[in-house]
Amino acid sequence: MKEIQSIIDKAISNGQKILSELDSKAVLTAYGIPFAREKLVESLVEARKAAGDIGYPVVMKVSSEQVAHKTELGLIETGIKDENELEITFQRFFQRAKELKGLVLVQEMVRGERELVMGMTRKARFGPCVMFGLGGIFTEALDDVAFRVAPLEEHDALAMMDEIKGRKILDTFRGMVPVDREQLGACLLGLGKIGLEHPAIHEIDINPIIVRDGQPIAVDALVVLGVPGKKPSSLPPSTGYLKKFFEPESVVVIGASKSPHKAGNDVILNIMANGYEGKLYLVNPRGGEILGHKVYTSIQELPDGIDLGIVILPAAATPKTIRECAAKGITALVLAAGGFAEVDEQGKSLQEETVQVIRETGVRVLGPNTSGHISTPHKFTSSFFPLGKIRRGNISYIAQTGNFATHTMRYIMSGENFGVARVAGLGNKLDIEESEILEYYAGDPETRAIFIYLESFKYPGRFLEIAKGVTKYKPVILFKGGVTAEGAKAAVAHTAAIASDDRVIDAVLRQAGIVRIHRYSHLFLAAKAVSSMPLPKGNRVSFLAPSGAMLVSLTDFCTGQLKLRVPALEETSRRRLQDLSPDFIRMRNPVDIWATALAKGMETAYYEGTKIVLSDPNIDAAVLVLMLADETGVPPLDFIINLAREYPEKPIYVTFSGQKKHMDSARDFLEPRGVPTFPLIEEPFEVLDILYRCRSMMENR
């Protein structure tokens, strides 16, 4: 690889923006990209010899560092059939090559109907990103491409091939041989490696890469040079200190307040309401007592070595407060104040100062501008929004919004029946950021599933590394706020132009095994389900509904809008269902349960029907659409609790048709007993789809 480096160094010292075609190919060939045979020719005699060796028809090109896109300037002639044509083209190109200080190449003519494209580009903070897709004019028109960030693993490369819409053409297609996926994958891995090993290479386009007899062969390439950026951080953090945040044995509220409805008062009420069992200290220059607790007049006065400080002071007091805390051995702080870089220039310089102080003192900080964090197993919260006692559960959230530990928690507490383990509001994340919290949750026995709302990634590389590990055994579900479709503006290569931030984030999440959702509401709906039910082992759903229209429309929804299947049951199961039902209904999956319910009562019909489908090896999950109305009778619902107990490995969800008041009381009965319910009939299926994706992330990587 020394030669490669010297090619690059030489080009840079020549002031080149792009590598010559020969150099580009030398670099790419060294990383395993196969190219069409070609020869540099300096005279007609050489050209004739080259063409003779390669065999007609051939391609002739002018290659010059001054030209990034040859086709548009007419510097390629394909299909040269004989010496006659060769001579005419050579004369013309030889002249052009001189003008452009370039060279003339004779190349093998590669024929194949399938044209692909691949490339590499660098994105700020994400590092080298590899692209793959349909080539030719369709690259731009259809935008049918997939990305991954380097380093790629083999399964990433294979997943990219399955991700493009035109993936059909990679298989046996119109009598063509299937593309050698291993070979194609090796090329993609090679591009990732180039990106990691040669920071001066900024963009690469290989377009087209033609498929001949199943083998990919590149016929043109462009390598763009650039100034190496900072290497993205990928230092693994040590999360030991987060214990001080989530399991503090002593806490001090700095800026405690006597006045009701002030943040400095509400935070104390919250801590008390949750039954915090550690030591609670308060600081306020006025001293005295607040809510039965002694108030210290200064930080200096406090005993040494308090685990955690919650600072509820104006932004300007931040740097000084951090120093004072550090001096007292308080090394973990939650900074509630807003008014930093998110507001104005003054706030920005205050923020910079704060970063400096954090670095100097080594104090670890959550925030500023955070609404706090929650840790129910430790009966603790630093939230200053009046929350009261927070329901304990096994769901943990990471949220880059003040919304979460405040009114969204309020909604979860009042509108849903599941509880949370940990919640962290990241605020401006001057110090502690998402990947550290993620690592803490990964090892947290109280956390069964992790939900994330994020607007930006502070260290994408570190995040990816940690997420790759945790998603193998815990579901991680992420809503990305602030999607932008904008591509890079100054891009030379097409790869760079279509690598929008959102596309790359999508790639990172797929690589990380994180399931991306596109509705804020799914942050609760999916949490509710995973909180008490197992993940579905596959995407094969059965459901029981009281109406043919529902059977039809929900099947369409599962298979058309989602990636679920509604498969046939084994014949023995089908027959058992048929035995349950009046004859005039032909029983199958999905299950038309209404006639059975009329004949045998709702309870028996749904109980027996669900048992049959859950016993079937083809079924991974069941949804009960209960019809509840005065006239038809509302059965006791214990049987559903029993079903959940009898089939602990298959999730059971409930939704409704009929009268609102019965739906509400069914929810109030079922949810506290661990059976999730959903007001709209599509919702349980949307959630199953999300959780099935989580599950397949665990298996397929």
Site for a copy of itself in 87-146 (CB under 8 A): 113-114, 134, 137-138, 140-142, 144
Amino acid at site 100: L
Least spacing, CB of residue 169 vs a copy of itself, in Å = 4
The Cα 513–Cα 686 span in angstroms is 19
Structure tokens at 195: 């990106």
- Is residue 188 within 8 A of residue 149, CB to CB? The reply is no
Residues of span 181-240 touching a copy of itself by CB under 8 A: none
The reply on whether position 453 binds a copy of itself by CB under 8 A is yes
The reply on whether position 345 binds a copy of itself by CB under 8 A is no
Least spacing, CB of residue 468 vs a copy of itself, in Å = 25
The Cα 269–Cα 614 span in angstroms is 47
Amino acid at site 516: R
Nearer to a copy of itself by Cβ, of 140 and 277: the residue is 140
CA distance to 395, 441, 577, 597, 615, per residue, from 591 (Å): 32, 40, 8, 12, 14
Question: What track of x and - describes contact with a copy of itself for positions 617 through 646 (by CB under 8 A)?
Answer: ----------x-xxxx--------------
The Cα 311–Cα 215 span in angstroms is 63
* Residue span binding a copy of itself (CB under 8 A) among the ranges 89-97, 273-281, 292-300, 557-565: 557-565
Q: How far is CA 20 from the centre of its chain?
A: 37
- Site for a copy of itself (CB under 8 A): which residue of 314, 548, 601, 672? 548
The Cα 331–Cα 307 span in angstroms is 7
The reply on whether position 178 binds a copy of itself by CB under 8 A is no
Q: Is 699 exposed, middle or buried (0-12, 13-18, 19+ CB in 10 A)?
A: exposed
Nearer to a copy of itself by Cβ, of 133 and 536: the residue is 133
Q: Detail the DSSP E strand segments found in 64-110.
A: 76-80, 103-108
The Cα 509–Cα 498 span in angstroms is 18
Nearer to a copy of itself by Cβ, of 473 and 584: the residue is 584
Core vs surface per residue 546-555: b (16+ CB within 10 A) or e:
beeebbeebb
* Residue span binding a copy of itself (CB under 8 A) among the ranges 3-11, 41-49, 287-295, 396-404: 396-404
* Residue span binding a copy of itself (CB under 8 A) among the ranges 125-133, 147-155, 185-193, 395-403: 395-403
- Site for a copy of itself (CB under 8 A): which residue of 63, 121, 239, 408? 408
- Site for a copy of itself (CB under 8 A): which residue of 26, 657, 698, 701? 657
The reply on whether position 174 binds a copy of itself by CB under 8 A is yes
Question: What track of x and - describes contact with a copy of itself for positions 61 through 90 (by CB under 8 A)?
Answer: -----------x------x-x---------
- Site for a copy of itself (CB under 8 A): which residue of 228, 481, 601, 672? 481
Place of tokens 């024929």: 111
- Site for a copy of itself (CB under 8 A): which residue of 16, 29, 183, 401? 401
Least spacing, CB of residue 193 vs a copy of itself, in Å = 30
- Site for a copy of itself (CB under 8 A): which residue of 231, 279, 348, 407? 407
Least spacing, CB of residue 368 vs a copy of itself, in Å = 14
Residues of span 668-687 touching a copy of itself by CB under 8 A: 679-682
Nearer to a copy of itself by Cβ, of 49 and 258: the residue is 258
Amino acid at site 540: R
- Site for a copy of itself (CB under 8 A): which residue of 183, 234, 403, 618? 403
Structure tokens at 346: 């003054």
Residue 435 CB: number of other CB atoms within 10 A?
25
Least spacing, CB of residue 402 vs a copy of itself, in Å = 7
Least spacing, CB of residue 632 vs a copy of itself, in Å = 8
Number of H helices, E strands in the chain: 24, 29
Place of tokens 């069914």: 666
Amino acid at site 389: K
* Residue span binding a copy of itself (CB under 8 A) among the ranges 100-108, 178-186, 543-551, 563-571: 543-551
- Site for a copy of itself (CB under 8 A): which residue of 445, 560, 617, 636? 560
Question: What track of x and - describes contact with a copy of itself for positions 280 through 319 (by CB under 8 A)?
Answer: ----------------------------------------
Structure tokens at 235: 């230092």
The Cα 135–Cα 169 span in angstroms is 12
**Which DSSP letter does residue 558 get?**
I
The Cα 605–Cα 599 span in angstroms is 8
How many residues of this chain bind a copy of itself (CB under 8 A)? 76
Question: What track of x and - describes contact with a copy of itself for positions 152 through 171 (by CB under 8 A)?
Answer: -------------xx-xx--
Structure tokens at 417: 């029946």
Q: Detail the DSSP E strand segments found in 548-659.
A: 591-592, 621-628, 652-658
Q: Detail the DSSP E strand segments found in 74-142.
A: 76-80, 103-108, 114-123, 127-134
- Site for a copy of itself (CB under 8 A): which residue of 229, 236, 482, 601? 482
CA distance to 210, 212, 610, 692, per residue, from 696 (Å): 33, 34, 24, 6
Structure tokens at 527: 């949490």
Q: How many CA atoms lie within 13 A of 283 on its CB side?
A: 20
Q: How many CA atoms lie within 13 A of 478 on its CB side?
A: 28
The reply on whether position 601 binds a copy of itself by CB under 8 A is no
Nearer to a copy of itself by Cβ, of 113 and 277: the residue is 113
- Bridge partners (DSSP) listed for residue 59: 107
Residues of span 507-526 touching a copy of itself by CB under 8 A: 518-521
Nearer to a copy of itself by Cβ, of 482 and 601: the residue is 482
Nearer to a copy of itself by Cβ, of 14 and 414: the residue is 414
